[in-house]
A and B are shown apart, each in its own frame.
Chain A
Amino acid sequence: MISISPQKQDYLILAAMTLALALLPLTGRSNYFLGQGTLYLIWAAVVTQWNIVLGVAGIMSIGNLALFAAGGYAVALLGLYFDISPWASLPVGALAGLGMALLMGLSTLRLRGAYTVVVTLSISMVMYQLIVTDVGCFRRTASACYSLTGGSRGLTRFGDFGFNAMLGYGGAAWGNFLLALAVLVLCMAAAITVIHSPYGRAFQALRDNEQAARARGIRIEKFQLIVFAAAGFFTGLAGAVYAGTQRTFGPQILGFPTLLFLLSIMIVGGRGRIWGPVLGTICLAFVQENTTGLAEWQSSTYALLLIVILIMAPEGLAGGLSRLVPWLKGRVGGRTA
């Protein structure tokens, strides 16, 4: 058998997954399917980067949605006040996420464990509170008055990616889908590179036994910050794509239900596992689409799923799968060392 490195293997799986997903719109799916698919692709991208920060680099940030919101609001505000198309403001959104990540990363650099949780949560809550309490009159129309950030109602009508004009009527749905897929692929490729880099192994050493790792001279605070900043860049980009494809952006993004949904994706998929976020998104998407009947209990459903997986199978779906594959190989191909 040809042996390929684990890193190449991951890139190959990613390429196959990308191809399959890119062909999906051609199978005549409904616009609803593509719309939901776009959302899930974006969430998978966000969780992939969050997973690198929390699950791999060991930075206990639960404020990653602030990075997402920074990117989204950058696009929404630039579109609304300066009439800049989301295409042009995509890089600005990514840089806004990067800036937010640097702010968070620098303020938590010397902190440990639960302290990091509190500070990152606080920063995203400050952002939430400042937006929600923003009721001052900034822009006046004939009938109403709007605040700078749109307050708790959020922002709308700041433009979109214009796929309808580019691809003809009905093109928006699959244009958006492919754009979201592109962001996910970018985030995954970056994540695979980080995990298989020497730093990825250093992170793992630190996570498994910090004292032993430090005694062997591993000091990676600087690289932790770089990984966090990169996550900010990609998460901000995802936020920008969210704003451009959903054509609305509000502070609900920073609320607990969204945080819990994404956290469930990470835990169910397998924290610290490269394929965890994708598997988790598939699972949670399945749950979400099949529990629309109990809308008011939906958050509880995710919470319950998260609790059960974390207690019963802390390695998540990816962990289970990684044990299943060698077992299957053993069954099919006899004994292979």
Chain B
Amino acid sequence: MDILATTLGLGAFYAASAVSLALIWGTFGMLNLAHGAFITVGAYASLLLVNELGMPPWMGIFAGAAGGAAIGAVINTLLVARVFARPGFEINIIILTMAAATIVVDGINNIIGPSTERQPFSFEGRIALGETSIAWQTVMVIGISLAMTLILTLMLRYTALGRSINAVAQEPTAARLNGINVNRVVMKVMLISGAVAGVSGVLITQSTAVYPTVGQEPLLKALIICVIGGLGSISGAVIGAFLLAFVETVAQFELGTKWGTPVLLMAAVGMLVLRPNGLFGSRDITRN
């Protein structure tokens, strides 16, 4: 029962941090190593708005979304737009976003300071559930994560924007010939992805704390989750999130806390060796 409760909470965290990575990876084949920076910026946006500007704590989640969207726009304008759909995009964008993440972490360290702060956007209290209990916070994280996932999935499938995203993802040149403004579509995806990552940054830091490299571990977990779930599959990412949360929780209960992440990573690597396209991925959208 403890394992189940922990798995649910952890899985929801992971799902929250993985869906936005899955969105841009799945649509554009772009592995965003600045994803951790998006999460960090979201967490700090909430922190600064509430602590420095004296806004009420519930505003924090919107600040997180705005901060994440802003960094998404900046990364898009300065980096993505310059290499998108050009030769070597796949590897170039990985290197570029990794460099960008370094600048963001350095910037926060040097301008705001390396100290650890409490995330002001948080809820107290627990609900009793038989022998165990679940924190309100966990319930809220599960709720917000599921809502974000659902909205993204529906948006991709049923809206005009979703259709143009799919068109650009499949063949940028053809999309452009059919009158789609590719740059604008990419910008929108980066904005959405940034906002979702920013929100997840606020959610994640409720249980940890806010510090400059807070996005690093969620980034690594999100990478593994997306790989396990398979490219292009947001629902695969969510299932992968809960699956990995379960593996990690069992490892922590059985082997001790320090083994959680290593076992998780090794399980993921092992699974990839057996199924190179992930559990739910079938199509290979590598493009050079």
Contacts and interface: CB of A to CB of B under 8 A. Distances in A.
B284 interface: yes
Contacts of B227: 115, 118-119
A60 interface: yes
Contact of B103 (A114, A133, A300): A300
A122 B265 contact: yes
Contacts of B103: 300, 303-304
A133 B258 contact: yes
Interface in A94-137: 106-107, 110-115, 117-119, 121-123, 125-126, 129-130, 133
B282 interface: no
A260 interface: yes
A14 interface: no
B268 A122 contact: yes
Given A122-B265, A297-B110, A117 B94 contact: yes
A299 interface: yes
Given A114-B31, A307-B100, A299 B106 contact: yes
B92 A126 contact: no
Nearest to B281: A115
Given A125-B265, A304-B103, A311-B83, A263 B98 contact: yes
A210 interface: yes
Nearest to A60: B91
Contact of B262 (A111, A117, A130, A314): A130
Given A113-B286, A118-B224, A303 B276 contact: no
B79 A311 contact: yes
Interface residues of A, number: 42
B176 interface: no
A11 interface: no
B83 A114 contact: no
Contacts of A111: 272, 276
A194 interface: no
A289 interface: no
Contact of A307 (B99, B107, B286): B99
Interface residues of B, number: 43
A107 B101 CA distance: 27
Contact of A303 (B31, B91, B99, B216): B99
B178 interface: no
B85 interface: no
Contacts of B64: none
B95 A310 contact: yes
Interface string A214-228: 000000000000000
Nearest to A256: B102
B246 interface: no
A296 B109 contact: yes
A304 B82 CA distance: 15
B269 A129 contact: no
B9 to A, nearest CB: 21
Contacts of B29: 113-114
Given A115-B227, A307-B100, A126 B262 contact: yes
B90 A114 contact: yes
Contacts of A121: 220, 223
A172 interface: no
Given A113-B286, A299-B106, A314-B92, A118 B99 contact: no
Contacts of B91: 54, 60, 113
A210 B288 contact: yes
Nearest to A130: B262
Contacts of A297: 106, 110
A110 B278 CA distance: 12
Interface in A269-310: 296-297, 299-300, 302-304, 306-307, 310
A257 B103 CA distance: 11
A46 interface: no
A133 B252 CA distance: 14
A115 B226 CA distance: 10
B224 A122 contact: yes
21 contacts: A60-B94, A62-B98, A113-B90, A114-B90, A114-B94, A118-B227, A119-B227, A122-B220, A122-B268, A122-B269, A126-B261, A126-B266, A130-B262, A210-B288, A256-B98, A263-B95, A302-B99, A303-B100, A303-B102, A304-B103, A310-B83
Given A114-B29, A304-B103, 5 more contacts: A107-B270, A122-B223, A123-B265, A303-B103, A311-B79
